[in-house]
Amino acid sequence: MLRCMVLTLAMPALARRAAEELLPANLTYMEYVALQTSGNRRKLKGRPFVQREDVQIMARWMRENVHFQHHFGLCHGTRAGWEQRWFQGSLHWGNHTVIGTEISDTAEQFQDTLRWDFHEVKEEWLSAADFVYSNALDHSYDPKLALQRWMSCLDVDGVLLLEHSPYHAGPLDGPSINGDMFSGSFSDYLRLVLSLKGVEIRDILRLPPSKPGHIKRWVESRVIV
């Protein structure tokens, strides 16, 4: 089945009202979408946060440790969609087997990218993914809800790959101009993951600093699996 469709951002009224209740008092849901979109457009001018070498490390771990049932994966908050392309190549899967979500209207510019709020789940994704990857939990207005929704997409043997770097732990007093909504240390991320019912941490992957000129040149990222 071809999974490279592009959707417009549509949220049922009930789900939108629920989102409004979780957002800061001075921010409506459509303002949240606009904030994420403007931040996305600004960041598109720079290099992608995720690096090909990082994806290769995660893909190698999955090839050695995960029994793939569906050959289908999800990446959330993908901006220009590099991660889904790199995962497809590194896992030796076919085209359109890894789908990215991006809430900005710029999603329509990139292959295998849906314009989608990652707090929501398509019915066809439930228990259907071998993995879910994201480095964008800091853009969530309710990180625990986002993680719960992402976990619901995993097959019984599937894994969540959640990236954290020092950039995810900076001081934050309200939504930032780049769309950041949540800030937490690596320990905060661990506690958040472990607060989910029935979830266990299988490994911590270390991603080395990136090449000169990249935002992650001087820092090491870690991925909770």
For the segment 170-188, the average pLDDT, to the nearest whole number, is 74
Task: Look up residue 33 and give its two tokens.
Answer: 């979408």
| Residue 85 structure tokens | 């392309």
- Range 151-190 burial, b when 16+ CB lie within 10 A, else e: bebbbeebbbbbbbbeebbeeeeebbeebbbbebebeebb
Are the beta carbons of 103 and 30 closer than 8 angstroms?
A: no
Amino acid code (one letter) for 218: W
> What distances in angstroms separate CA 154 from CA 69, 70, 126, 132, 211, one per listed residue?
10, 10, 7, 7, 32
d(Cα 82, Cα 93) in Å, to the nearest integer? 15
Mean pLDDT of the 116-143 span = 96
Q: How far apart are CA 105 and CA 114, in angstroms?
A: 9
Q: How does 94-126 read in b/e, with b if 16+ C-beta sit within 10 Å?
A: eebbbbbbbbbebbeebebbbbbbbbbbeeebe
Kindly state the average pLDDT of the residues 169-190: 76
pLDDT above 70 coverage of the chain, percent: 81
Residue 173: what residue type?
D
Q: CA 6, 12, 17, 22 torsion: positive or negative?
A: negative
What pLDDT is recorded for position 58?
95
What mean pLDDT do residues 106-129 have?
95
Task: Looking at the chain, list the stretches that DSSP marks H as alpha helix, in order from N- to C-terminal side.
Answer: 13-22, 29-43, 52-65, 82-90, 143-152, 186-194
Residue-wise pLDDT tens digits, 24-81:
767 888 988 999 998 888 888 777 778 899 999 999 999 999 999 999 999 999 988 9
What's the pTM?
Answer: 0.86
Are 114 and 102 a contacting pair, CB within 8 Å?
yes
Proportion of the chain above pLDDT 90, given as a percent = 56
Q: Rounded to whole angstroms, how far apart are CA atoms 188 and 139?
A: 15
